[in-house]
Structure formats: C-alpha cells, structure tokens
Amino acid sequence: MAPKRSGFHLCHAFLSQGYRSQIGAVVAVTILLSGCTRGHLAYVTPQGEHKTGCATEYSWAPAVDKHAVDYVLAYCAKGAVAQGHQIQDQRLLQLDLTIPPAPPGQRWSHQLAAAQHKAGKITDQQYGYIVAYLDLGLDKPQAKSQEP
C-alpha cells in the first residue's frame, strides 16, 4: 500500500509547484485538510496528570478514515485503561473492535480489504477497522499492546 501523505506534506508539495498566490494557497490548504481525519487519546494518569497520546491520522477516504481513527484510539484507550488510566472519551471503550473474518483461505491485507470494500462485501466501518488493525500490526502473532 502506498504511504499516506499528511495534509501538511500535500500542501507543501502543492505550494512548492509554483501555486503561491494567497487565494490559491488558502483554497489548497482548505481542500487538503478537509480530507484528513485526525485524533488523539486524552487520558488522566492515576496521579491525576492530564495527558494525550496515540495521535493518529488517516487521509484517503473520509467515510472510512473516521472508522480507522476510532479503531486506533479505541485500541489505545483499552490499553490505557488496563494500565490504570482514565479515558476522557468513554465512547471509545464501548466500541467493538472485532474484525470480520477474511474470505475462506485468505488473510486480511490492505489490497484484499480494498477489493472487498469495493465489491460491497464489507462496510465503511469494517474497512476502516481492518485498515487500522493491519496498520497497528495486530495481524501479527507477536503484536504487543500499545502504550497511550
């Protein structure tokens, strides 16, 4: 899968191509940033410190990106709670992070998930969850819990 490029990098590339007028720059930044879904996990340590962690960003398909961001944050939130932290967005703890089974005889990959999504065999949410699951490396047997 090709690396995802953040809105900043895309804006920089756009502006470095000679599109330097102020109006063009504002339009470019607005368009590029509107297609980017970001999130981070806000939590409180057992000592009462307010912290953030697990910053994540997806920027390829807004209908799917929000689900990938939710998956990453919910995964981190569950790990943070296991370490004794309090999560500010309790909604994350209610998300079911179950990944649908891959078609018989196959393992999930970015390409397989994209094909299944395009064919209408998995929903936007399932596709986003599978992408985040793969990006976190949770398909590997040695996957470890992420710290917030």
pLDDT-based confidence at residue 63 (cuts at 50, 70, 90) = confident
Instruction: Indicate if the pLDDT at residue 47 is higher than 80.
Output: yes
d(C-alpha 130, C-alpha 139), whole Å: 10
- Least confident window among 7-11, 46-50, 93-97, 108-112: 7-11
Report pLDDT for 66: 94
Residue 8 sits in the same domain as residue 64: no
Residues 6+ apart with CB under 8 A from 114: 127
Domain match, 8 and 42 both:
no
Answer for the pair 148, 53: CB distance below 8 angstroms, yes or no.
yes
Question: What's CA 12's distance to the chain center, in Å?
Answer: 22
One domain for residues 80 and 94: yes
100 and 49 both lie in a single domain: yes
111 inside domain: yes
Confidence of residue 37 (pLDDT cuts 50, 70, 90): confident
Give the span between the Cα atoms of 9 and 21, in whole angstroms: 18
